[in-house]
A and B are shown apart, each in its own frame.
Chain A
């Protein structure tokens, strides 16, 4: 059965790119525009993985990761964060919050899929 991945990003273009890439690779995608949207959409849905941006309005990526990890159902779900070269401290925070791994923007669709494969096989 196809695995479900939640993508969280406030940038429409990046979201579109993520969704397009993931769907082409055969994953189901749940789309969220920021952390708050993501948390409402999670709502006990069966999710195999979360890909989230860090800088987002409302609930940002770090807070989202902490929230997800605090939810028993998603305690062990892999979370990949989208980071940039210019904010290394964000990555450290994200890791502390419980992120599984990261992808540095900008990235190519192939790199994204390689990381997903690495994390959920």
Chain B
């Protein structure tokens, strides 16, 4: 038997006793109709039967007893005189309750009818008197029935002013308990208001003079806060205001005076802040408000601020042009800062140097920060491909799983936009040319479903994107034959695989046996390569016949700024992108003579061809006795670039050249140097390509 059964059993026994008590009292009342104590006794018995019955689930008994009790109350209050009929009726209802107690669980409908009949009879007696029998109560329900419902909904900020009533202690209420209870609902800041405490001589130690201003940041409804104060509401001043809703409504209102003045540039925001701090002081001095109330208002402001901070969306949308503009300005700033640094080199003032260094550091941080804003996860791109792969595979009757990795890798927005088309093309190629049909794959002993993997990773200030398929790989012989046929190469002998693979990036090269709908629509791999080049990226390909192909794209994180190596030829400065610079060596006249006219230098045990920038750009001036060679590497090829002097490293903000210069080979842009001079940025990849072509022309 569990606890509630036990209570029910106790109730049944108790109710039986009460009914017996009641019966005795009613019979006594018959002899002594004016005795109020007897009426009281009868009333109490009925009251207990009702109250306890409701407690333990005997609702029918409780309901019925309620009617009888209400009727008895009228007699007790003297509204009705006891009569023989009334006594009969009470006895009948007593018997009815007794029957209900004995016949629990098998209530018949005629019993209900009989009960209604008795209630009606009571009602007849009560009729003509002020109120009906079944009066409704407006009283608040039992407080804190259950822990307040914490919804996962919005956070709200309430301003609560609680001024405890003077007789709170005399009611056994501890106001601190209420504050503790409030703090369980959320983040509470309470400010004690001492101003209601009288002078010591006037203090009655049994009286309560306490008051608080509180700000509660919570997710509960106002009712739950009311509940906390339920026992003190009528004795104390309690104000609860939801200031978060007010704040939301107010946010669209006209700007405040301070805001307008700041917007007009009449005052600075610091001046307004100063004035506002003084506002509190002024109000306090004039005696309008106490220091504590100002503190409390300040904490409300803070909470409201915090509330706004958490409840408002954490991102804002900004037009891309604004960002571009910002990047531009930061570019200018970096340039100016460089000028400043340069100008400061001759200065001995430690103070100035310190400031210059500070500016240098800050502008670097600012630049990184601004460039970071332009970064987007590559995921936006990757997710588009899923559908494309699926559709394409089913069109071609192939089965392909598409796997992406590193979708969270961030890249400059412009880069992401511009690699879309190349990636589409590369992935199409993978599926069209790479992955075989399921039958073919089975024949090769591979699983019928092919896999295309798209991976993005950060590596050394670059983003590396790999497109890998487990298809049949590149057929180097077919490529050689095709290249020969197209006149790209003069013989098919002695060509390395990696050289052959690169041929597929040459204009007009296509190895697909037939022109399908997917590839071979005029956009070849050469277009892909050109696009990647223009992004200052690199493309590489590895393949193993029968196993698969991997295309590797290396892309700069951003297009706006490059780390460059400043070099000079004939006093003119040039910038070489640092990412392709491998090392720098000297080139003496001896070295040149030893090479017997061949433009090759010995770099440890490797021979590296070189080009002379002076010649490439047709600069007419004397060669230095000792020249410098910058060894650059692009697309897996090492080439030296001969220049006069190496000046140093610099972050160069890229300025695009006017349209007239777009066709100029070997130059990708310009930058402004610290001294205000313009330096051209070398397109190293193109220089190297030109050099290789010339060299091949020489040997073939």
The chain A residues found within 8 Å of chain B, CB to CB, are 10-14, 16-17, 20, 49, 53, 55-57, 69, 75-79, 82-86, 88, 91, 95, 98-108, 110-111, 114-115, 118-121
Tell me, rounded to whole Å, the shortest Cβ–Cβ distance linking B61 to chain A: 12
B238 at the interface (CB under 8 A from A): no
Check B231–A11 contact: CB distance below 8 A: no
Interface string of B137-177 (1 = CB under 8 A from A): 11101111111000000000000000000000111111001
Interface string of B1-38 (1 = CB under 8 A from A): 00100111011011000000000000000000000000
B240 at the interface (CB under 8 A from A): no
Tell me, rounded to whole Å, the shortest Cβ–Cβ distance linking A30 to chain B: 16
Check B137–A13 contact: CB distance below 8 A: no
Partner pick for B144 among A13, A75, A114, A121, CB 8 A cutoff: A114
Q: Could you tell me the dominant secondary structure of chain A's interface residues?
A: mixed
A2 to B172, CA, bound (A): 19
A82 to B66, CA, bound (A): 16
A120 to B176, CA, bound (A): 11
Binding-face segment, B52-60, B88-96, B370-378, B475-483? B52-60
B41 at the interface (CB under 8 A from A): yes
Given A11-B48, A86-B70, A98-B170, A17:B55 Cβ within 8 A: yes
Kindly report which residue of chain B lies nearest to residue A84, judged by CB atoms: B51
Check A13–B181 contact: CB distance below 8 A: no
Chain A residues closer than 8 Å to B399, beta-carbon distance:
none
Chain A residues closer than 8 Å to B41, beta-carbon distance:
57
Check A10–B48 contact: CB distance below 8 A: yes
A114 to B180, CA, bound (A): 14
Given A20-B3, A84-B51, A88-B137, A76:B169 Cβ within 8 A: yes
A76 to B206, CA, bound (A): 9
Check A13–B10 contact: CB distance below 8 A: yes
Tell me, rounded to whole Å, the shortest Cβ–Cβ distance linking B391 to chain A: 59
A79 to B231, CA, bound (A): 11
B413 at the interface (CB under 8 A from A): no
Interface string of B174-216 (1 = CB under 8 A from A): 1001001100000000000000000000000010000000000
A85 to B8, CA, bound (A): 22
Given A75-B206, A114-B144, A118-B181, A11:B173 Cβ within 8 A: no
B689 at the interface (CB under 8 A from A): no
Cβ contacts A to B, 28 pairs, < 8 Å: A10-B44, A11-B48, A13-B56, A14-B52, A17-B56, A55-B47, A55-B48, A55-B51, A57-B41, A76-B169, A76-B172, A83-B139, A86-B137, A91-B139, A100-B231, A101-B143, A103-B142, A104-B139, A106-B62, A108-B145, A110-B145, A110-B146, A111-B144, A111-B146, A114-B144, A114-B146, A118-B177, A120-B177
A104 to B230, CA, bound (A): 13
Given A57-B41, A69-B170, A78-B173, A16:B10 Cβ within 8 A: yes
Chain B residues closer than 8 Å to A110, beta-carbon distance:
145-146
Check B172–A77 contact: CB distance below 8 A: yes
The count of residues in chain B whose C-beta lies closer than 8 Å to any C-beta of chain A is 49
A10 to B143, CA, bound (A): 23
Tell me, rounded to whole Å, the shortest Cβ–Cβ distance linking A28 to chain B: 18
Partner pick for A107 among B7, B55, B181, B230, CB 8 A cutoff: B55
A20 to B56, CA, bound (A): 14
Q: Could you tell me the dominant secondary structure of chain B's interface residues?
A: helix
A100 to B171, CA, bound (A): 5
B135 at the interface (CB under 8 A from A): yes
B606 at the interface (CB under 8 A from A): no
Check B55–A105 contact: CB distance below 8 A: yes
Check A106–B55 contact: CB distance below 8 A: yes
Tell me, rounded to whole Å, the shortest Cβ–Cβ distance linking B148 to chain A: 10
Most chain-B CB neighbours within 10 Å: which of A86, A88, A114? A86
Q: 11 more A-B contacts (CB under 8 A) besides A84-B51, A118-B143? A: A13-B7, A16-B10, A55-B44, A76-B169, A78-B172, A83-B139, A86-B66, A95-B234, A118-B177, A118-B181, A121-B177
Check A86–B10 contact: CB distance below 8 A: no
B436 at the interface (CB under 8 A from A): no
Interface string of B64-79 (1 = CB under 8 A from A): 0010011000000000
Kindly report which residue of chain B lies nearest to residue A53, judged by CB atoms: B51
Sorted nearest first, the 8 A-B pairs with minimum C-beta distance are A78-B172, A101-B231, A13-B11, A106-B54, A100-B172, A114-B144, A13-B10, A104-B142
Tell me, rounded to whole Å, the shortest Cβ–Cβ distance linking A99 to chain B: 7
Check B142–A107 contact: CB distance below 8 A: yes
Check A98–B144 contact: CB distance below 8 A: no
Check A118–B144 contact: CB distance below 8 A: yes
Chain B residues closer than 8 Å to A11, beta-carbon distance:
14, 48, 51-52
Tell me, rounded to whole Å, the shortest Cβ–Cβ distance linking A83 to chain B: 8
A118 to B170, CA, bound (A): 17
Chain A residues closer than 8 Å to B48, beta-carbon distance:
10-11, 55
A12 to B49, CA, bound (A): 11
Tell me, rounded to whole Å, the shortest Cβ–Cβ distance linking B147 to chain A: 7
Check A101–B230 contact: CB distance below 8 A: yes
Chain B residues closer than 8 Å to A56, beta-carbon distance:
44
Kindly report which residue of chain A lies nearest to residue B180, judged by CB atoms: A121
Check B10–A12 contact: CB distance below 8 A: yes
Chain A residues closer than 8 Å to B7, beta-carbon distance:
13, 16-17, 20
A78 to B141, CA, bound (A): 20
Most chain-A CB neighbours within 10 Å: which of B8, B70, B143, B144? B144
Tell me, rounded to whole Å, the shortest Cβ–Cβ distance linking B169 to chain A: 5
A72 to B40, CA, bound (A): 31
Interface string of B488-508 (1 = CB under 8 A from A): 000000000000000000000
Chain B residues closer than 8 Å to A17, beta-carbon distance:
7, 55-56
A49 to B171, CA, bound (A): 11
Partner pick for B51 among A14, A78, A79, CB 8 A cutoff: A14
Check A14–B55 contact: CB distance below 8 A: yes
